[in-house]
Structure 1
Amino acid sequence: MTAAARARLLAELRRFDQAEAELRLGLLTRPGDPDLLALLAAVLRLNGRPADGLAAAEAAIEAGPGSAGAHAERAENLIALSRGSEAIQAASEAARLRPAEPEVHRVLARAHAASRDFRRARGAAREALALDARSVPSLLTLAEVERVSGRRRAAARATRAALAEDPENPGGRWLIALLNAERLHVGEAMRGLRELAADHPDRLRAEALAWPILGVLAGLQRGLAVGVPLTFAVRLAAPWWSLAGLFAQAIALVVAVVMVSFTGRVLLPAGRLPWRCLALLPRGTVITGLVAAGASVALLVWYGVSTRLPALVLAAVAVLILCVSGVFRVRVTSLNPG
C-alpha cells in the first residue's frame, strides 16, 4: 500500500495526525510530488490547520501547476480561511483544468457560497450534477448552497434526493437535522442528531448535540442587545414625552415574555441531552452567558412592574456581560460530519 493510500485510509478514520505522518514520510522520497502535497493540504485542513494546508497546497501548485487537485485544495483552504475571492480564482482554475470532474465544480460552488454569490454557487453545483445526476456529494453541495441562501425547501429536496441514493449518509442526515433545527422543529432535530451520534460517535462533536443551549444563548444575545437599549432609549425620553415611562415598561415586559417563550420553545422539546453535553463545552463561557441572560430577563420584568431605573441599568450591565462573554453560534462547517 502506498503512502497516499495509507494516508487516505487514516483520514477516513479521522486519524489526521497519523495521516500527516504517513504523507511526510512519503514526501521524503518524493519531495516534489504534487499529489502527495495536495493530499497533505487536505489532511491539514481537515485537522483544523487551514493555514498550514494552504502552504502545502501552494507547494503542490508550484510542483505541478497543471494539477487541478492542487488548485481545488488551495481553494478549500482559502474558503476555510474566509478568503472568498481568492478561493473563487483557485477553484475556477481547477474547473478550467479539469472541466469534466464534478468535484472541482463542487469546490467552486462552495467558494461562491462563501462569498455569498448564491446564483453562481447554485450554477456550479448544478454543473457538478450535470456530470453525475445521482452524485450524493453534489446533491449535498447543492443542498448546503440552498440552505445557506435561505431556500430551505429546495435544500430539503436536494437532501432527500441524496438520502434516496444513500439513506445512511451522515452528511445528509446532518443536513436534515440542521434544517429541522432552523425551523425550530427541535424534537425532530434532536432525534436525528441522537441517531447520528449513535452511528458516528467519532464525527459528531459536543457542540452539535448542545445546539439548543448555544442557539438559545445566541438568540437571547441578539434579542436582549436590541430590547434593553430600546427600553433605555424610550425611558430616557421621559422628560420630553409624558408616556415614555409607560411605553418603556411595556417594551421591557414584551421583550422579557418573548425571550422566555423562545427559550421554552427550544429547550423544553430538546430534553436532557444538551445539558449532558454541556460538560464537554467551555463551561465557564456558557454558564456565564446563561446567568447573564437570565439576570437580564429577570431585571427587565422587575423594571416592567416597578419602573425602578436601577433595574434597567443592571439589565444593561447583564446584557453587556452576555455580549462579551462569548459568541454562541454553531457553525455548520465545523460540525458537519461529512
Structure 2
Amino acid sequence: MSAAARARALADVGRLDQAEDEVRSGLVDTPHDAELLGLLAGLRRLRGDVTRALEYADAAVAAAPGQSVVHIERAECLLVLSRWDEALAAARESVRLAPSRPEPHRVLARCLTVRKDFGTAREAAGRAITLAPHSVPDLMTLAEVERHAGRRDAARQATARALAEDPADTESRWMMALLDAETMRVRDAMRGLRQLAADHPDRYGAPALTWPIRGLLAGLRRGLLAGVPLVAVLASIGTWWGPALLLSRGAAVVMALVTAGLAVRVLVPAGRLPWLCLGLLPARTRRAVAAGLIAASWSVPVLSWYALTPRWSTLALAAGLTVALLAAGATEQKA
C-alpha cells in the first residue's frame, strides 16, 4: 500500500496526526509528489492551519498543473481564507481539466454560493449530481446552495435524498436539524440534535444543544436593535406631532409582545435540555448568555411600561438594555 493510500485510510477514521506522518514520510523520498502534497494540504486545512495548507496546495499545483484534484484542494483552502475570486478561478480550472468528474463541479458550486451566484451554483451542483446521482456529498452541496438561496423546501428535499442514500450521514442529519431550527420546528430540531449528540458528543455537544436559547437571543438582538431606535424616532416626532407619540407607544407594545411570543414559541417546545446544557458551556460563554437573558427578559416589562406611561427615562432604559444585549452577544461570539 502506498503512503497516500495509508494516509487516506487513517484520515477516514479521524487519525489525522498519523495520516500526516505517513504523508511526510512519503515526501522524504518523493518531495515533489503532487498527490502527497495535495493530501498534506488537505490535512493541514482540516487541522486549521490554512495558511500552510495553501502553501502545500500551491506546491501541488506547481508539481502537477494538469491534475484537477490539486486545483480542487487549492480552491478549498482559498475558500477558507475568504479569497473568493481566486477560489473561483481554481475551481473553474479544476472543472476544465476534469469536466466528467463530479468533484470539480461540487467545489465550483460552493465557490459560486459564497459569491451569491445561486443560479449558476445550482447548475454546478446539479451537474455533479447528474454525474453521481447517489453521491451524498453532491446532494448536500445542492442542499447548501438552496439553503443559502433561501429555498429551504428545496434544501430539505436534497437533504432527504442524501439521508435516503445514507441515513447515518452526519452532515445530512445536521443539515436537517438546522433546517428544522430555521423554520421553527423546534421539537424536530431538538430531536435530531439529541441523536447527533449521542452519536458524536465531541462534535455536537452543549453548544449545539443550547441553540434554542442562543438562537433566541440572536433574534432578539436583531429585533431590538431595529425596534428601539424606531420607537425613539417616533417619540421624537411626537414632541411636535401628537399621533407619532401614539405610534411610538404602539410600536413598543408590538415589540414587547413579539419578544415574549418568540420566547414562548422557542423555549417551551425545546424543553429542559437546553437549560441543562448551559452549565456545560465555557464560563465566559455562560456569563454572556446569562447577561443576555437578563437584558432580554427586562426589555419586555420596560417596553410595556413605556407604552403605558411614555417617558424618555423609560425609553433610555430600553436602549440601555438593548446595548447590554448586544454587548453580551459580542462577548459570546468571542468566547
**TM-score scaled to structure 2, two decimals?**
0.91
CA contact (8 A) 1:218 1:327 kept: no
Structure 1 residues 121-148: Cα deviation after superposition (integer angstroms, max 9, x where no partner):
1111111112122222111111111111
1:321 aligns with 2:324: yes
Query: Could you list the runs of 4 or more consecutive aligned residues of structure 1 that deviate by over 6 angstroms after TM superposition?
Result: none
What is the match of residue 290 of structure 2? 287
1: distance between equivalents of 2:31 and 2:208?
39
Task: Give % identity.
Answer: 52
Structure 1 residues 88-131: Cα deviation after superposition (integer angstroms, max 9, x where no partner):
11111111111121111111111111111111111111111121
Structure 1 residues 22-49: Cα deviation after superposition (integer angstroms, max 9, x where no partner):
4334333332222122112212222233
What is the match of residue 335 of structure 1? none
1: distance between equivalents of 2:321 and 2:297?
9
2: distance between equivalents of 1:6 and 1:289?
49
Q: CA deviation at 1:54?
A: 1.9
Q: CA deviation at 1:323?
A: 2.1
2: distance between equivalents of 1:134 and 1:230?
51
Cα distance change on mapping 1:328 and 1:3 into 2, 3 Å = farther
1: distance between equivalents of 2:329 and 2:11?
32
Secondary structure of the structure 2 residue equivalent to 1:264: helix
What is the match of residue 89 of structure 1? 89
**TM-score scaled to structure 1, two decimals?**
0.90
What is the match of residue 195 of structure 1? 195
Q: CA deviation at 1:205?
A: 4.7
Alignment of 1:49-198 (within 5 A): 49-198=49-198
Structure 1 residues 203-230: Cα deviation after superposition (integer angstroms, max 9, x where no partner):
3253322221221011001000011101
Cα distance change on mapping 1:280 and 1:52 into 2, 3 Å = farther
Structure 1 residues 304-337: Cα deviation after superposition (integer angstroms, max 9, x where no partner):
223232121121122123223335999xxxxxxx
- The counterpart of 2:306, out of the listed 284, 303, 317, is 303
2: distance between equivalents of 1:124 and 1:157?
17
What is the match of residue 40 of structure 1? 40
CA contact (8 A) 1:217 1:328 kept: no
Q: CA deviation at 1:14?
A: 3.3
Cα distance change on mapping 1:3 and 1:204 into 2, 3 Å = farther
- How many pairs align? 330
RMSD over aligned Cα atoms: 2.1
Structure 1 residues 42-71: Cα deviation after superposition (integer angstroms, max 9, x where no partner):
122222333332222112212222221111
Q: CA deviation at 1:202?
A: 3.5
Q: CA deviation at 1:300?
A: 1.5
- 1:216 maps to amino acid: L
Q: CA deviation at 1:3?
A: 3.6
Unaligned runs of 5+ in 2: none
- 2:310 maps to amino acid: T
Deviates further, 84-93 or 41-50: 41-50
Secondary structure of the structure 2 residue equivalent to 1:280: coil
Alignment of 1:235-314 (within 5 A): 235-278=235-278, 279-281=280-282, 282-314=285-317
2: distance between equivalents of 1:208 and 1:85?
32
Secondary structure of the structure 1 residue equivalent to 2:242: coil
Deviates further, 262-271 or 292-301: 292-301
CA contact (8 A) 1:143 1:154 kept: yes
Deviates further, 208-217 or 41-50: 41-50
Secondary structure of the structure 2 residue equivalent to 1:237: helix
Unaligned runs of 5+ in 1: 331-338
- 1:280 maps to amino acid: L
- 2:298 maps to amino acid: A
Cα distance change on mapping 1:294 and 1:55 into 2, 3 Å = farther
2: distance between equivalents of 1:118 and 1:327?
30
- 2:308 maps to amino acid: V
Q: CA deviation at 1:149?
A: 0.8
Cα distance change on mapping 1:2 and 1:213 into 2, 3 Å = farther
Cα distance change on mapping 1:194 and 1:36 into 2, 3 Å = same
Secondary structure of the structure 2 residue equivalent to 1:158: helix
Secondary structure of the structure 1 residue equivalent to 2:173: helix
Secondary structure of the structure 2 residue equivalent to 1:326: helix
2: distance between equivalents of 1:319 and 1:92?
45
1: distance between equivalents of 2:165 and 2:312?
61
- 2:170 maps to amino acid: P
CA contact (8 A) 2:57 2:73 kept: yes
Structure 1 residues 151-186: Cα deviation after superposition (integer angstroms, max 9, x where no partner):
112112212222222222222222211111111000
- 2:220 maps to amino acid: L
CA contact (8 A) 1:288 1:322 kept: yes
- 1:286 maps to amino acid: V
Secondary structure of the structure 1 residue equivalent to 2:225: helix
